[in-house]
Chains A and B, each alone.
Chain A
Amino acid sequence: MTLSAEAEALTGEFWAAAARHELVRPVCRDCGRNFFTPQIACPQCLSENWSYERSSGRGRVYSATVVHKAATPDVPVPFRLGIVDLDEGWSMLTTFVDGPGGRLPAIGAPVEVTWVEQDGRTVPAFREIVP
């Protein structure tokens, strides 16, 4: 995916960190809010004074599903899609990979970030943590 110059300025740092296998998210320097997706201003206090901070990459499954038929024919199915709530109080859309038995993690299951190479870019995914 090619980003516009404006998008690059906003999110280039996220993808650069991803290439180093570091998950980052915007944190507002004024009110402390974690937010995602990146916006030019904090959605809590509208401050533009925020920076990308490294995440632990750990969180819990908010919702999860199995996609059996993809939106475009080139995407291999089935795959596992979901929303993860990160421990720092933000959340993101993602896919689930690996994990015990390749199963769909349950709502509330602990997960950690892992990385997949896709179309020339390193993209975050999550795997279930086995206690």
Chain B
Amino acid sequence: MKLQDVAIVGVGVTPQVKRSEKNSLQVALDAAKLALADAGLSHTDLDGIAARWPGPGGTELAPGSADWSTMLGVPLSWIGDSYPQGIPALVDAAGAILTGQATTILITGGQAGVLGGGKVASYTRPGNEFVAPFGAFTAAHFALVAQRHLARFPHARQGMAEIAATIRNVGSTNPDAVMYGRGPYTAEDVLAAPPVVDPFTLLDLCLASEGGAAVVVTTLERARDLRHPPVVLLGAGMEWLRQQYVDPARYEEVWSIGAKAARKAFGQAGLGPSDVDVAQLYDVNSLEVARQFEALGFCGEGEGTDFALATGIGPDGKLPTCTDGGLLSFSHIGWGAPTLKLVEAVHQVRGTAGARQIPGAEVALAAGAGSAAQYYNLALLGRAR
């Protein structure tokens, strides 16, 4: 077997909301059931899981994916506590399948019942003694990267606003998006929104919402007997520079993070950036979208916003990007958010995206993390050949 013999056969997303009445385990379970039903499989078909364990219940010694074996009631031959989920979990699952450790693996996660009180999510503001006293949080770390970029390329500010408006307008027409019905927005609206941390306004920045997301991964051989056209893993790559949000990110180090991972992924796939039909980039903020176009090889340094504007990243553009409305407007569910990128990529490739389907989407890019996070990962998904 080779990498391209690993397929995603089921996807599931629970209702995405600002604040859920459920807890994180419940939404992960809900998403898992949806993904299994989508695949036409039962939980008894699973022999592997990458889901972590948010509790309650389970062991207090080392809560993790092993705790799911009790709930699922089936013997497992592989578990993986991938960090975060999304692409790293998919790569881990592929490794397990290719080494014969498992055949059918569930990846599920999300967050619920954890936000509120006017605070940003706790994972975005580590309690580290050299971070917390200065009041830093995720968007602020990204802002410190952005300030250096804008000092070099000040024209990018307008393009950032155009990118944010474009992606948010996709979400505003997606009934499943947290921000459905909000908007449409213009670039001027983005620039005039309340400032959060310079250069970002509220509309430049992603959401913090609640819900679950899951995918089911198996062999291409098994996938061919299931409900949907198999979506195979064409290539993937990951980079880990440093633990996130502790030592501040150096612009010169992190601006191109993802370039090596992209070369690996495109090399495995035998494809290049121009072959990508839809790009589920990790849009934690408007500038990160432009940065990924640069780092992943779609354009040169400092050209990301111009590339986005010239190419067209909306549904009618040449490179539809964040086709569900992205983290900016669809949802951001913490460690489960990267799985949302896989789910949308799968829908587009197999043609089940409904009203937001991009005609002819055969190759999808899905990504996770970003510059100030100091790690990055991406996967290329496509139809089985």
Contact = CB atoms under 8 A, between A and B. Distances in A.
Given A1-B133, A65-B147, 18 more contacts: A1-B129, A7-B129, A11-B129, A36-B130, A63-B145, A65-B199, A66-B198, A69-B194, A71-B125, A72-B118, A83-B248, A91-B250, A93-B134, A93-B248, A95-B134, A107-B148, A107-B151, A118-B133
Given A65-B198, A67-B140, A73-B118, A107 B133 contact: no
B120 A71 contact: yes
A75 interface: yes
Contacts of B148: 62-63, 107
A121 B133 CA distance: 9
Interface in B113-134: 117-120, 124-125, 127-134
Given A65-B197, A71-B119, A81 B124 contact: no
Most chain B Cβ neighbours within 10 Å, of A7, A70, A71, A119: A71
Contacts of A107: 147-148, 151
A119 B129 CA distance: 12
Contacts of A82: 144
B145 A81 contact: no
A79 interface: yes
Chain B, interface size category, equals: 35 or more
Interface in A72-89: 72-73, 75, 79, 81-83
Interface of A: 1, 3, 7, 11, 15, 36-37, 62-73, 75, 79, 81-83, 91-95, 104, 107, 118-119, 121, 123
A80 to B, nearest CB: 10
Contacts of B118: 72-73
Contact of B140 (A73, A81, A119): A81
B137 A37 contact: no
A82 B197 CA distance: 12
A123 B136 contact: no
Contact of A95 (B135, B144, B248): B135
Contact of A72 (B119, B144, B198): B119
A18 B248 CA distance: 20
Contacts of A66: 195, 197-198
Contacts of A63: 144-145, 147-148, 248, 251
23 contacts: A1-B129, A1-B132, A36-B247, A37-B247, A62-B248, A62-B250, A63-B148, A65-B143, A66-B195, A67-B135, A68-B197, A68-B198, A69-B194, A69-B195, A70-B137, A71-B125, A71-B137, A73-B119, A81-B136, A81-B197, A82-B144, A83-B144, A83-B248
A37 B130 contact: yes
Contacts of B192: none
A-B pairs, top 9 by smallest CB distance, nearest first, are: A71-B137, A63-B144, A68-B195, A73-B118, A65-B143, A93-B248, A83-B248, A71-B125, A71-B120
B196 A69 contact: yes
B129 A93 contact: no
B246 interface: yes
Contacts of B195: 66, 68-69
A65 B129 contact: no
B108 to A, nearest CB: 28
A93 B284 CA distance: 21
Contacts of B143: 65, 81
B135 A75 contact: yes
Contact of B196 (A3, A7, A68): A68
Most chain B Cβ neighbours within 10 Å, of A93, A95, A107: A93
B287 to A, nearest CB: 13
Contacts of A123: 133-134
Given A36-B247, A81-B136, A93 B130 contact: yes
A1 B144 contact: no
Contacts of B132: 1
